[in-house]
Structure 1
Amino acid sequence: MKRGIKMTEKEMKELALAEGFTEAEIIETEELTFIHSLRACCEANECGNYGRNYACPPDCGSPEAMEARVRQYRKALVLQTVQQVDDIMDSAQTKEAKKFHNMISWELIGRLREEGLEGLPVMAGPCSACAVCAKTEGKPCRFPEKIASCLSAYCIHAADMAEKCGMDYWCGRSRVAFFSIYLFN
């Protein structure tokens, strides 16, 4: 496909599957459910990034601002990987699975952008463009073009999204599902 020619939705999904995703579906952004009270999960700071990562709360914006950012786009390419693990409670294994998911998400996004499809990425977990976020050093973001907040920061109801896409959300104790989204018009 030549640069500047828009890909069809079918081609986007086929490319996602070829890049290693388990499932890929496109839905209208109006189908995404936002639950602003999910912000409490971020505020509990279980991942340790609250106030320490520019893509995380409170720096990323209020739940209302995050929803408004998503609503500027009409479509969402929902990407899923389902990976085998010994036990989903093994944080080292799930961390590696999430790292793989985000890596292929960025690779796909790069390909889509090369084809002229600009959009907004929403990733699985906090932004990891840098090993240590410049926020912790009191410096501006080093790679503002690579910053990406996660589904939790956007307060997107992931289980509802998965159901609307015909994807499994809960895959048992030995398989883990991760999701990312690429928003576009």
Structure 2
Amino acid sequence: MNQGERFVKMAVEMGFSRAACVPVSEISFDASLRRYCEMNLCGSYGNNYACPPDCGTPEQMEAKVRKYQNALVVQSITKVNDIRDDTETKKVKKEHNRKMSELVRELRQAAPGGTAVMAGPCALCNECKKKKGEKCIFPEGISSCLSAYCIKAQELAEKCGMVYWCPEGEAAFFSIYLWSEEGI
């Protein structure tokens, strides 16, 4: 079993609905997706160091991803009463990101130097220090989301054999762990 297969197995054992590995070269980007961050529906634009405009331009974000070779894509599919209920959806996303943070701790032991792309803004602190104009206290640990990276999530899901649009009563969230194999 190669490293990617081990990582997929770890993710599934940790409770993710699906997991798959793809070469980073197969991840597609679209800088026009940045407009969704700029709409600031989540309230994090300019208020979180991991979010635009502080995280970098779309080109800089793509370059951050391209420095790695491999991507472990994980998905959580969770039953919800109403996908439009922001309180319920945020709770489900928070649980997805909690599991992903646990997985990332294990993956960093096996593949040091990797980085995570989360489902939503960095939440290492209860409130990002950016809001108060203070320095980030976890600069090595912050993780931007797929939107901040301008990753074409639907295309990536399809490449990984995952559903992007769930049926009524379900919500799907995605995260990625990027790493390079030693000695390659």
- Interval of TM-score (by shorter of Structure 1 and Structure 2): over 0.9
Deviation per residue, 1:112-141 (Å, 9 max, x gap): 122344301000001111111000111110
Moved more, 111-120 or 146-155: 111-120
Deviation per residue, 1:37-96 (Å, 9 max, x gap): 010111111111111000000000000000001000011000100000011111111111
In the superposition, relative to structure 1, how do residues 133 and 161 fare at CA in structure 2: closer, same or farther (>3 Å)?
A: same
User: Is 2:30 the counterpart of 1:35?
Assistant: yes
Counterpart for residue 143 of structure 2? 148
Give 3-state SS (helix, strand or coil) of 1:176's partner.
Answer: strand
Give 3-state SS (helix, strand or coil) of 2:65's partner.
Answer: helix
Which of the numbers 144, 148, 161 marks the counterpart of 2:156?
161
Normalising by structure 2, we get a TM-score of 0.95
What is the percentage of aligned positions where both structures have the same residue?
Answer: 51
- Report 1:1-185 matches (<5 A): 8-185=3-180
How many pairs align? 180
Separation (CA, whole Å) in 1 of partners of 2:145 and 2:166: 20
Contiguous gaps of at least 5 residues in structure 1: 1-6
Separation (CA, whole Å) in 2 of partners of 1:33 and 1:95: 26
Point out 4+ residue stretches in structure 1 off by more than 2 angstroms: 114-118
CA RMSD across the alignment: 1.3
